[in-house]
């Protein structure tokens, strides 16, 4: 079995692989983020009733954040075996590690039943989820990139990324359904468990569907030629591919700014800063996420045709202009909420081009480890710090989200120029 020819068109198996990978990624990302939509009720049920409300919520979000902190370790371990034993095995393992803890959360006893063991068990399950997502996202990008012809790598990675963002939308829709169909008392009495049980079932279905996937041609060829990493893959990455690590971490910072600020933090920002009703802000957010899923695919198509340099220069400029127009208009033209948020969401789709650079930056023998190490370490750092930085900025700057995103867009433009020069010198060519 040989690597896919760079010039052939996408065939039926390629589309099947993309569809199953994107579906699995969406369902797994749903499992990872559904926790945050029910943080308030989880805080009430899993911590002492006499605890101050602010402390309950702080500890609940601390458990949520533990999933992010577990990502680098889980990603590095799974990537290590992915480079040595195969992409498909780790791709399947990651979804099992996500589905089972999510299902277990749906049946977890509360503080009233087992006391302090309840939040400790919740923390342990959340850490398992973090380890799983740390392997899933990089593994999925590597998996689809190594299946399709080189000239369609961007489209494959963009499609996969759009699937991940669709998982956020699915979580939002399920949370809306639960809060509409049941009263707050009924949710506390047990309806909160349904999204987790549903997520576990989703994961097991996705695991079954992944039975039809095949090992990537690139890994199969390396295995046949005995060209796998001769030493610890991460050791090779740190010693020989520092430029790829730095560029990948910088691009992940840009990615985290778009997702965390524009998509995840903005509904709360709209409610607190501009007194926009929660239902309206969530509807606008859903529209933005739909546009984001489309934007990821468009960015993937663009990088296949234009290359990384021009895609990131133009994409970063579009994100800067659209996000600033959106945030600056909220106080003077609130009627523009939906169209401008939709445009900003579409512009965040530049994140769909990020994995193209990362899979090209590392050679196949250490690709999984290099991508996973760079992405997960950067996301744990920047994804975790971004909400705190923006919140502190808001104390003196009402447009803090806009200015933070603008700063990262400047980084995106600088990276685009660097990548354009690097491409002209032969870096990032298909391996």
Choice between 4 and 105, residue whose per-residue pLDDT is larger: 105
Both 374 and 295 in one domain: the answer is yes
Over the stretch 343-367, which tens digit does the pLDDT of each residue have? 999 999 999 999 999 999 999 888 8
Both 167 and 41 in one domain: the answer is yes
Both 215 and 291 in one domain: the answer is no
Question: Where a domain ends, among 193, 228, 263?
Answer: 228
pLDDT-above-90 percentage for the chain: 40
Which burial class, exposed, middle or buried, applies to 356 when counting CB atoms under 10 A from its CB (0-12, 13-18, 19+)? buried
Mean of the pLDDT values across residues 284-307? 95
CATH of the domain at 92: 1.20.1250.20
pLDDT value of residue 221: 67
Decide if 90 contacts 82 (C-beta within 8 A): yes
Both 136 and 151 in one domain: the answer is yes
Question: Where a domain ends, among 183, 203, 228?
Answer: 228
Ramachandran category for residue 115: left, alpha or beta (phi over 0 → left; psi -120 to 50 → alpha): left
pLDDT value of residue 318: 98
Name the residue range of residue 50's domain.
Answer: 10-228
Q: Enter the tokens of residue 74.
A: 């889980």
Q: Comparing C-alpha atoms, which of 21, 349, 345 is closest to residue 163?
A: 21
Both 167 and 43 in one domain: the answer is yes
Q: DSSP readout, 306-341?
A: H-HHHHHHHHHHHHHHHHHHHHHHTTT-GGGHHHHH
Domain contains 115: yes
pLDDT band at 218 (very low <50, low <70, confident <90, very high): low
Q: Is the pTM of this model over 0.85?
A: no
Choice between 408 and 147, residue whose per-residue pLDDT is larger: 408
Q: How far apart are CA 403 and CA 396, in angstroms?
A: 12
Mean of the pLDDT values across residues 307-323? 97
Is pLDDT of 3 > 60? no
Domain contains 197: yes
Both 353 and 381 in one domain: the answer is yes
Q: Enter the tokens of residue 41.
A: 């009720």
Q: How far apart are CA 76 and CA 204, in angstroms?
A: 24
Mean of the pLDDT values across residues 165-175? 86
Q: How far apart are CA 261 and CA 399, in angstroms?
A: 12
Q: How far apart are CA 27 and CA 168, in angstroms?
A: 9
Both 192 and 304 in one domain: the answer is no
Decide if 35 contacts 42 (C-beta within 8 A): yes
Over the stretch 67-108, which tens digit does the pLDDT of each residue have? 777 888 888 887 777 777 766 777 678 888 888 999 999 999
Least confident of 93-102, 214-223, 332-341, 374-383: 214-223
pLDDT value of residue 215: 66
Q: How far apart are CA 158 and CA 357, in angstroms?
A: 12
* Number of domains comprising the chain: 2
Which burial class, exposed, middle or buried, applies to 254 when counting CB atoms under 10 A from its CB (0-12, 13-18, 19+)? buried
Domain contains 2: no
Decide if 238 contacts 42 (C-beta within 8 A): no
Both 224 and 235 in one domain: the answer is no
Domain contains 128: yes
Over the stretch 233-280, which tens digit does the pLDDT of each residue have? 888 898 999 999 999 999 999 999 999 899 988 887 888 888 888 778
Question: Where a domain ends, among 228, 250, 265?
Answer: 228
Buried b (16+ CB within 10 A) or exposed e, 217-253: bbbbebeeeeebbeeebbebbeeebeebbebbbbbbb
Both 281 and 192 in one domain: the answer is no
Over the stretch 365-391, which tens digit does the pLDDT of each residue have? 888 889 989 998 998 888 777 887 888
Both 180 and 64 in one domain: the answer is yes
Both 242 and 145 in one domain: the answer is no
Both 81 and 222 in one domain: the answer is yes
Q: How far apart are CA 282 and CA 176, in angstroms?
A: 9
Domain contains 243: yes
Domain contains 3: no
């Amino acid at each position: 079995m040989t690597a896919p020819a760079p010039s052939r068109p996408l065939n039926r198996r390629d589309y099947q692989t993309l569809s199953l990978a994107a579906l699995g990624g969406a369902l797994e990302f749903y499992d990872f983020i559904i926790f945050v939509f029910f943080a308030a009720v989880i805080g009430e049920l899993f911590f002492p009733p006499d605890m101050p409300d602010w402390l309950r919520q702080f500890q609940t979000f601390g458990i949520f954040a533990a999933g992010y902190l577990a990502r680098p370790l889980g990603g590095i371990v799974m990537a290590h075996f992915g480079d040595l034993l195969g992409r498909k095995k780790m791709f399947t393992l990651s979804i099992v590690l996500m589905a089972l803890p999510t299902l277990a959360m749906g049946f977890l006893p509360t503080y009233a039943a087992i006391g302090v063991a309840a939040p400790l068990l919740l923390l342990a399950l959340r850490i398992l989820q973090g380890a799983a997502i740390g392997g899933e996202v990089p593994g999925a990008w590597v998996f689809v990139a190594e299946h399709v012809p080189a000239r369609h790598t961007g489209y494959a990675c963009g499609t996969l990324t759009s699937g991940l963002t669709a998982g956020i939308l699915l979580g939002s829709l399920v949370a809306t359904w639960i809060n509409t169909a049941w009263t707050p008392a009924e949710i506390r009495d047990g309806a909160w468990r349904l999204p987790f049980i549903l997520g576990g079932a989703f994961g097991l279905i996705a695991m079954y569907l992944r039975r039809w996937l095949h090992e990537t041609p690139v890994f199969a060829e390396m295995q046949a030629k005995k060209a796998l990493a001769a030493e610890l893959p991460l050791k090779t990455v740190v010693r020989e591919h520092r430029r790829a690590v730095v560029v990948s971490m910088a691009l992940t910072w840009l990615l985290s700014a778009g997702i965390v600020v524009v998509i995840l933090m903005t509904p709360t920002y709209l409610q607190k800063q501009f007194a926009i009703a929660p239902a309206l802000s969530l509807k606008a957010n859903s529209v933005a996420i739909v546009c984001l899923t489309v934007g990821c695919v468009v960015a993937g198509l663009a990088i296949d045709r234009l290359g990384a340099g021009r895609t990131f220069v133009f994409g970063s400029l579009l994100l800067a202009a659209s996000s600033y127009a959106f945030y600056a208009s909220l106080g003077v033209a609130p009627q523009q909420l939906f169209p401008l948020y939709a445009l900003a969401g579409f512009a965040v789709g530049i994140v769909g081009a990020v994995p193209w650079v990362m899979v090209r930056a590392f050679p196949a023998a250490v690709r999984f480890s290099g991508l996973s190490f760079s992405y997960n370490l950067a996301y744990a750092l920047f994804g975790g710090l971004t909400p705190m930085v923006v919140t502190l900025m808001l104390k003196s700057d009402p447009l803090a989200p806009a200015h933070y995103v603008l700063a990262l867009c400047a980084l995106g433009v600088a990276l685009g120029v660097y990548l354009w020069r690097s491409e002209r010198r032969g870096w990032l060519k298909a391996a």
